[in-house]
Amino acid sequence: MSSSPLPMPALGEPYLLTPGPLTTACSVKQAMLKDWGSWDDDFRALTRDMRRRLLAMIGDTAPEYDCVPIQGSGSYCVEAMLGSFVPRDGKVLVLANGAYGLRAAQTLDYLGRAYHVLDKGDYLPPRGTEVAQILAEDPMITHVLAIHCETSSGILNPLEEIAEATQAAGRKLLIDSMSAFGALPLDPGALNCAAFVSSANKCIEGVPGFGFVIARKEEIDASRGNSHSLSLDVHAQWATMEKTGQWRYTPPTHVVAAFLKALDLHEAEGGVPARGARYTNNRDVVVQGLRDLGFETLLEDRWLSPIIVTFFCPADTNFTFKGFYDSMKARGFIIYPGKLTVVESFRIGVIGQMDEHVMRRVVEAAREALTDMNVSCAAPPAAALEERKKLAA
């Protein structure tokens, strides 16, 4: 693996051990120091180039798909995808095991689309057999929504078996790959996926401001008139871009310019495999280092994503999340609170402009933070380990 350290993101700034916004390269930030006319040919060329390069990342079936950028954060894209591709009389099976699955269900509520939630709780994976059974029992379901990496626990969901069950039942697959695309392989053709979404500020390491829908061209064609929303209508955005090269309504020009710089860096690094390898190495270094201090991960190794990892808070009563957070921040690292309902936890994101050298410093900072708090062992309470047993069951 890489041995020369990545350059510092910027002098004096803490590293963001968060799942986006995340630590970006200096050159990505510098790319924002220029104003662009949204109607100008130069900016249209940026948009065209960006759509082409994103499609190039999905593999051989790319010619069957198109890329439609949408202003806003990732949730705007999820809403645009659901509202545009699920017809008004459609019904969605939402596979939830965390906040983002539940948010998709809430979005469908707002849209007035019918849905059924398979809610696996905080972190258990939705399995192909469960999907097959629900689809067999409910012929009204037209679409299945899967979350690629559920960022709330960091679990990498089993997309292949979900896709297989969906295709076998003749339904359509939609994927939220927000926190995975760019670092984990995603071949929508092989998964027979109708559409998926991701955003600028996760594994491609841009700054926040827009996301994108990648959808089968025939799905985009067929989606005309479905959308509940003017500004989130994927078909209308696509039709305008195809015709004029422009976004409907003000594009986040500086963010797009920064994103193209981020795409340059992504390509120079070696594309999806190399980015995935760096993140995997980041994860392995931090997981091993924190385990050596006594910390335990929520998930077994087979479910750990190379994106973000949930750790249990130590049982030692001297430990507080706030104390740990402040101590880590004082050493230059912003960590992320956990989202488990049953036991206390925290999360460490391993994506962004960081490498194994940075991750070793994270482990060192955690060791010092424990000393600051007078915590001698970072082992979690028995209740946490009981909770984790559910995964094996």
Ligand X SMILES: *Cc1c(COP(=O)(O)O)cnc(C)c1O
Which residues would be at the binding site for ligand X (CB under 6 A)? 19-20, 73-75, 78, 100, 147, 151, 176, 178-179, 199
Residue of this chain nearest to ligand X (CB atom): 74
Smallest distance, Å, CB 335 to ligand X? Answer: 17
Smallest distance, Å, CB 228 to ligand X? Answer: 18
Smallest distance, Å, CB 318 to ligand X? Answer: 32
Smallest distance, Å, CB 122 to ligand X? Answer: 14
Give all strands (DSSP E) within 231-366, no chain letters: 308-312, 333-334, 336-337, 345-349
SS3 string of 55-122? HHCCCCCHHHEEEEEEECCHHHHHHHHHHHHCCCCCEEEEEECCHHHHHHHHHHHHHCCEEEEEECCC
- How many other β-carbons are positioned within 10 Å of the β-carbon of residue 336? 17
**Residue 392 exposure: Cα atoms within 13 Å on the Cβ side:** 8
Give all strands (DSSP E) within 341-385, no chain letters: 345-349
φ and ψ of 204, to 5 deg: -85, -10
Q: Which is nearer to ligand X, 241 or 308 (CB)?
A: 308
Length, in residues, of the chain: 393
Q: Which is nearer to ligand X, 73 or 327 (CB)?
A: 73
Smallest distance, Å, CB 333 to ligand X? Answer: 20
Q: Which is nearer to ligand X, 81 or 241 (CB)?
A: 81
**Residue in the block written with tokens 């760019």:** 182
Whole-number Cα distances in Å, 168 to 82, 128, 171, 176, 191: 22, 11, 8, 21, 11
Report the alpha-carbon distance of residue 18 to residue 20 in Å, rounded: 6
φ and ψ of 214, to 5 deg: -115, 120
Q: Which is nearer to ligand X, 303 or 319 (CB)?
A: 303
Smallest distance, Å, CB 101 to ligand X? Answer: 8
Q: Which is nearer to ligand X, 22 or 363 (CB)?
A: 22
Smallest distance, Å, CB 266 to ligand X? Answer: 18
Report the alpha-carbon distance of residue 183 to residue 178 in Å, rounded: 11
